[in-house]
């Protein structure tokens, strides 16, 4: 039995209901996040630059991505990832 694959384009992926909002931080915001949490870029969790949710943004290794998710318990949850 073969199940057909569904291919989505970049806009369909970014706007899919199950994909949280992804934003690339500018240098000022990146520094503010690192200072607030007293960490380095290397200490952040990682995300691949080929990840479907961010590849159309033109990210570079070392960029920091802010991910905003809706949460039943917390309302809104914010996560940060460094691009590798």
CB atoms near residue 36 (< 10 Å): 8
Q: Which long-range contacts (CB under 8 A, 24 or more apart) does 5-12 make?
A: 8/52, 10/52, 10/55, 10/56, 11/56
Q: Given this model, what pLDDT does residue 53 score?
A: 87
Q: Which residues contact 66 (CB under 8 A, 6 or more apart)?
A: 22, 23, 24, 25, 29, 33, 78, 79, 80
Instruction: Summarize pLDDT for 54-83 with one digit per residue, the tens.
Output: 988 899 999 999 999 998 888 999 999 999
* CATH H superfamily, domain 20-83: RPB5-like RNA polymerase subunit (3.90.940.20)
Model confidence, pTM:
0.81
Q: How many CB atoms lie within 10 A of CB 74?
A: 9
pLDDT in tens, 19-52: 889 999 999 999 999 999 999 999 999 999 999 8
Taking only the tens place, the pLDDT of each residue in 5-23 is 666 666 666 777 678 899 9
């Amino acid at each position: 039995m073969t199940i057909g694959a569904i291919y989505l384009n970049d806009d369909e992926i970014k706007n899919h209901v199950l994909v949280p909002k992804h934003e690339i931080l500018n240098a000022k915001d990146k520094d503010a996040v690192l200072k607030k949490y007293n960490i380095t870029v290397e200490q952040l969790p990682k995300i691949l630059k080929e990840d479907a949710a961010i590849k159309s943004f033109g990210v570079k290794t070392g960029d920091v991505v802010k991910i905003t998710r809706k949460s039943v318990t917390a309302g809104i949850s914010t996560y940060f990832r460094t691009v590798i």
